[in-house]
Amino acid sequence: MSGPGRREVTLGVNGSRRELAVEPHWTLLQVLRDELGLMGTREGCGEGACGTCTVLVDGELARACLVLALRLDGQAVLTIEGMGGPEGLHPIQQAFVERGGSQCGFCTPGMIMTAKALLDENLEPADDDIKAFMSGNLCRCGSYSMIFEAIRLAAGRLREADAKR
Amino acid sequence: MGGSFIGESVLRVDAISKVSGTAAYGVDVRVPGMLHAKVVRSGVPHARIVRVDTSRARRIRGVRVALTGEDVPVRHGPILKDRPALALDKVRYAGEIVAAVAADDEEIAQAAAEAIDVEYEELPGVFDFDAALRPDAPLIHDDPRVYDRVEVPGLRVDPQPGSNLCYHFKLRKGDVEAAFGRADLVVEDTFTTPKIQYCHLEPQVAVAQVDGSGNITVWASTMSPHLLRNAIAELAGVPAAKVRVITMMVGGGYGSKVYLGALNPVAVLLAMRAPNKAIRLAFDRQDEFLTNDVRLPTRTTIKTAAMRDGTLLARKVATYWDKGPYALLGPVIVRNAGYCSLGPYRLPNAWIDGYLVYTNNQMGGGFRGLGVPQVAWAGEQQIDRVARELGIDPVEFRLRNAYRDGDVSVTGERLQSVGVRQCIEEAARAIGWGTHPRGGRTHRYGHGIACILKSTLTPSASFATVNLNSDGSADILTSAVEHGQGAHTVLSQIVATELALPLDRVRVVMQDTSVTPFDRSSTSSRTTFHMGNALQRAAVDVRRQLAQLAASVLEVHPDDVTFVDGQVQVRGVPHQSHGYGEIVSRAFGSPGTLVGQGSCFTKPIYDSMDPDTGQSKRPSVYFMYGAQAAEVRVDTETGEYRVTRLASAVDAGKAINPANCIQQIEGAAVMGLGFATMEELVSTEGRLLNPTFLDYKIPSSADMPDMISRIVEVPHPEGPYGAKGIGESSIATTAAAVGNALYAALGVQIHDLPIRAERVFRAMRGAATRPAR
């Protein structure tokens, strides 16, 4: 599978170890979509301004359209596919469904990844915390209020689950 | 559980696929061996094309097709066919597509695009209304009479040679000059609105493939698969039966992605030159900013006359609309917004002029609200000025003059199903009209309100089929596109209700013009009404057939057959029920399909608008009514302000899915907020300066006011369960509501959008806020 310019890189992707041969200028977004067939992460602007392509790399927020895949050797990437799917949704995904957090849905994967980063850091975010933290993810359909409600609902459920442990 | 889903906030049928990332959009389409295309855009706004040289590009290894206008001299357009697929003799806006290439991968395609040499002879351009309409102005089209045109009912589009005026809308009612003469108060002002971008997060994209028999398949991100199919058939010179458009989830449209546009013809024409190879053409964000259509910028001069008691006597308005170089949907926008530009008020005297002007600016397209946001900015702010000068509360003023059922509109229609007064009352109540915080030494609060009416595309048609499957589940065959507005969910609710099926036993199939019947488009807030009616009728057709079969199989009268929860039962025979599938297989001795069909077309009720007077007894099958109230907090020293609360009230007729309605009402309000407070495409001499999200701001979560949304229900006798349309009502009112709130707080009006802090500052200091030109 190697081409003349390709270099090897090993990524953890949604819990699986993947060994890939990538061109040095390929972004993580290209690798996710074109090499790994993970289509849930998409491009909205290609310049890191809209948040559509947001994923987590070693737990930190990253713009897949700007990050070069080769720089992530040995790191763990979490995409929307790793959050859950039709067989079992993550509480954040479930909350988005129940509170109508998606209209066209194009921003939704990036929104959910950013919401995960927020709730990983703070399970009791105030409204202003939510607004500020999510402000790098654009939603042109204007679902922000419902997204806030979904995040509050997910936070409550995650706190409950934590308390039970 | 079967039963009625009408009025239920069921979860969206597409929600799980969207939160799990498994929903498929146009950008996700992959065909094995597909080629990748890139376009070459003109960087100059007006120029003769001297030479396009693709020879260097063709020599690059991996380049399969290179195309210029000379290879395919075709023009298209929904009204006037004035737009070339690829530029021919001239380019008329910076961003116009001049050439295109298809190659083995994107990088090669990009390199090839950069290797195409274009030589231009620049021409003087026109970039504003006044320059464009001067007698000696450079002409965008030497002779528009040479273009083929499509007849549109109630529209006379007749651009003359020697002029850049594309279309002139006129409405004349009563005697405005006499009214101005006897009124107690007459005010006149001029307002402007800028061009803004759709910014749908999924860009435009198409994958086109032509097989060995000349059959064309296009996977397209479009709001109108059948319009696209017909247009592609015409472009390619083949019967529509040989063209198939497939559409999946669409990542936002808002009025973009409707006709051929800039992208689709190029994808198809490239594919026609690469037999059996799929060609993928996707715009990136910069392509979107530079080449896609924009909301038409406007300048409106409006004059209003009233009596001391607050009764409106007359309104006279002239709006100039900047079309860019090609007609597109422009005349319909100017007409439809034109006759709504005086607002939802009783007016014995009205005079409207709308001028659609060709320029070398970006292409104006149909954008959510279809011109009403632009004219409402002017008309609704002037209402507040009249109210204030007469010492009447703005809510009270509107309630005194707003339409009621039975009133006659400015076009001469006797109106029915009018919910505007209820919307005004609800919005005012929701914001707590008049009870905002007091403010302090350096800041003040204000409340503002605005209301509108908007038409829907008439005449238009929707056709649909429902297939009852062998196991009693149902396929819903509709070309209505799910672009975020929740159409697939609402339509599922209607069919499930009429067939007495649980919601998870019906499914909307993928939009595919070879399978799903004609629908005009998923635009104009028309889907719930038109496609809802069509599918309700299709489901009833299935039920009727099933009743006949059950009657024959069970040997009872069809009138005694009832449907409950996917089961056929017989009146007076309890404890017996039969699944739909059982009835079908007993009737045919085999599994089978029952096919029901339905349609909704509004031609019979439509009264064509007189092109000289704007009169029509029924120009629109229904109107959308909405009102919105804004609360602002403004710094009186700097002009900086925040919209703290925004309350929208929209007349849905009947909310089939209330939660869905709230999504659309709030979503439109957020777009309205962007138009009001921050969005502006900035150009100089036709060249865009901010083609990026870094410099073109749309609302983010940090900009959110407290949002309150209210659904008003004034049923429409012809809508499914009384439903009308709601997707555009709350985008049109925001700018004026915010402007009026600032007016209430500060006593000064802003005339130009967006309402930037600097404009507020200058207005407070008494300086003009008109953009320097």
State which residue of chain A sits closest to B20, comparing Cα positions.
A85
Residues of chain A with pLDDT under 50: 1-2
Closest of B698, B482, B21 to residue A42, by C-alpha:
B21
**B11: Cα within 13 Å, side-chain hemisphere:** 14
Contact status of A130 with chain B (Cβ, < 8 Å): yes
Q: Does A159 touch chain B (CB under 8 A)?
A: no
Q: Do A104 and B666 touch (CB under 8 A)?
A: no
pLDDT per residue over B347-398, tens digit each?
Answer: 999 999 999 999 999 999 999 999 999 999 999 999 999 999 999 999 999 9
Under the banding of pLDDT at 50, 70 and 90, the label for residue B574 is confident
Q: In the predicted model, is pLDDT for residue B436 greater than 50?
A: yes
Query: Which residues numbered 212-271 in B keep a CB inside 8 Å of some CB on A?
Result: 249-252, 254
B111 contacts chain A (CB < 8 A): no
Contact state of B19 with A97 under an 8 Å Cβ cutoff: yes
Query: Which residue does chain A place closest to B709, by CA atoms?
Result: A145
* Mean model confidence pLDDT for chain A: 96
Residue B773 pLDDT > 50, yes or no? no
Q: DSSP alpha helices (H): ranges in B59-188?
A: 106-114, 129-133, 176-182
Tell me the per-residue pLDDT of B244-253, one tens digit each, with 9 for 90 and over. Answer: 999 999 999 9
User: B581: part of which helix (H) or strand (E)?
Assistant: helix B580-588
Tokens of B329: 């949907």
pLDDT over 90 (residue B3): no
- Identify residue B438 by its one-letter amino acid code: R
* Res. B587: pLDDT tops 70: yes
**In A, which residues are within 8 Å of B698 by CB distance?**
138, 140
Can you say how many angstroms the Cα of residue B457 is from the centroid of all Cα atoms in its chain? 10
Partnered with residue B710 across adjacent β-strands are: B649
Put simply, the answer to whether B202 touches A104 (Cβ < 8 Å) is yes
The residue type found at B222 is T
User: Are the beta carbons of B663 and A143 separated by less than 8 Å?
Assistant: yes
Per-residue pLDDT, averaged over B529-544, amounts to 98
Confidence band of B771 (pLDDT split at 50, 70, 90): low
Cβ of B27 under 8 Å from any chain A Cβ?
A: yes
B607 at A interface, C-beta within 8 A: no
- Please enumerate in sequence order all residues whose Cβ is within 8 A of that of B443, keeping only pairs 6 or more positions apart, or say none: B633, B634, B635, B636
Task: Establish if A63 touches chain B: CB-CB under 8 angstroms.
Answer: no
CB contact under 8 A, B702 and A105: no
A98 — contact with chain B (CB < 8 Å)?
A: yes
pLDDT of residue B767: 61
> What's phi and psi for B173, nearest 5 deg?
-140, 130
Nearest to B698 among A102, A132, A138 (CB): A138
A156 and B CB contact within 8 Å: no
**Distance between CA B288 and CA A46 in Å, rounded?**
12
Quickly list DSSP for A60-101. Answer: EEEETTTSBGGGGTT-EEE-GGGT-BTTB--HHHHHHHHHT-
Residues of B (652-711) whose Cβ lies below 8 Å from A: 659-660, 662-664, 666-671, 692-694, 698-702, 704, 707
pLDDT confidence of residue A86:
76
Is B151's pLDDT higher than 50? yes
Find the CB nearest A141 among B25, B662, B667.
B667
Asked if B700 and A108 come within 8 Å (Cβ–Cβ), the reply is: no
User: In this complex, is the C-beta atom of B14 within 8 Å of any C-beta atom belonging to chain A?
Assistant: yes
Contact A85 B664 (CB under 8 A): no
Cβ(A143)–Cβ(B667) below 8 Å: yes
Residue B440 banded pLDDT, cuts 50, 70, 90: very high
pLDDT digits 0-9 by tens, A122-137? 999 999 999 999 999 9
Alpha helix positions (H), B72-182 = 106-114, 129-133, 176-182
Q: Which pLDDT belongs to residue B2?
A: 44
Which residues on A lie below 8 Å from B22 (Cβ)?
40, 85-86
B211 touches chain A (CB under 8 A): no
User: Across-strand partners of A154?
Assistant: none
Q: Å from B643 to nearest chain A CA?
A: 15
Q: How many inter-chain contacts (A to B, CB under 8 Å) are there?
A: 168
Percent of chain B with pLDDT over 70: 99
Chain B touched by A35 (CB under 8 Å): no
To which H or E segment does residue B656 belong?
A: none
DSSP H or E run through B93: none
Please give the average per-residue pLDDT across B295-323, as a whole number. 98
Interface contact A127, partner B, CB < 8 A: no
User: B702 vs A142: CB contact, 8 Å cut-off?
Assistant: no
Read off the pLDDT of residues B704-736 as tens digits, 9 standing for 90 and up. Answer: 999 999 999 999 999 999 999 999 999 999 999
Helix/strand/coil for B694: coil
With CB atoms and an 8 Å threshold, state whether B669 touches A142.
yes
Cβ <8 Å between A131 and B702: yes
Mutation site for A-interface testing, chosen from B12, B38, B108, B201 by largest number of A Cβ within 10 Å: B201
State whether residue B582 sits within 8 Å of chain A by CB.
Answer: no
- Which chain A residue's Cα is nearest to B25? A106
Give the ipTM: 0.97
CB contact under 8 A, A42 and B27: yes
pLDDT tens sequence across A130-158: 999 999 999 999 999 999 999 999 999 99
Residues of A in contact with B20 (CB under 8 A): 40, 80-81, 83-86, 89, 93
Query: Hey, are the CB atoms on B14 and A143 less than 8 Å from each other?
Result: no
Interface contact B552, partner A, CB < 8 A? no
B-chain residues near A94 (CB < 8 A):
19
Q: Do A142 and B249 touch (CB under 8 A)?
A: no
pLDDT value, residue B770: 56
What percent of chain B has pLDDT above 90? Answer: 97
Question: What would the pLDDT profile of B589-624 be if each residue is shown by its tens digit?
Answer: 999 999 999 999 999 999 999 999 999 999 999 999
pTM score: 0.97
Whole-number mean pLDDT of chain B?
96
> If contacts are CB pairs under 8 Å, which of residues 176-205 in chain B contact chain A?
198-202
Give the minimum alpha-carbon distance from B759 to chain A in angstroms, rounded to a whole number. 25
Each residue of B197-220: pLDDT tens digit? 999 999 999 999 999 999 999 999
Q: Which helix (H) or strand (E) holds B44?
A: none
Nearest alpha carbon to residue B374 among B736, B738, B770, B756: B736
Predicted confidence at residue B551, as pLDDT, reads: 96
Mean pLDDT of B251-270: 96
Q: How far is A163 from chain B (nearest CA, A)?
A: 26
Q: Does B20 contact A134 at a Cβ distance shorter than 8 Å?
A: no
Is B217 within 8 Å of B232 (Cβ atoms)?
no
Residue B200: list chain A partners with CB under 8 A.
104, 106, 140
Interface test with A, best of B9, B12, B18 (most A CBs within 10 A): B18
Give the SS3 label for residue B169.
strand
Query: Which two three-digit tokens encode residue B700?
Result: 């983010």
Report CA-CA distances (Å) from B244 to B72, B161, B215, B221, B764.
21, 38, 8, 13, 58
Tell me the per-residue pLDDT of B458-511, one tens digit each, with 9 for 90 and over. 999 999 999 999 999 999 999 999 999 999 999 999 999 999 999 999 999 999
Give the gap in angstroms from C-alpha B106 to the nearest C-alpha of chain A. 11
A114 part of contact set with chain B, CB < 8 Å: no
Cα of B635 vs its chain's centroid, Å: 35
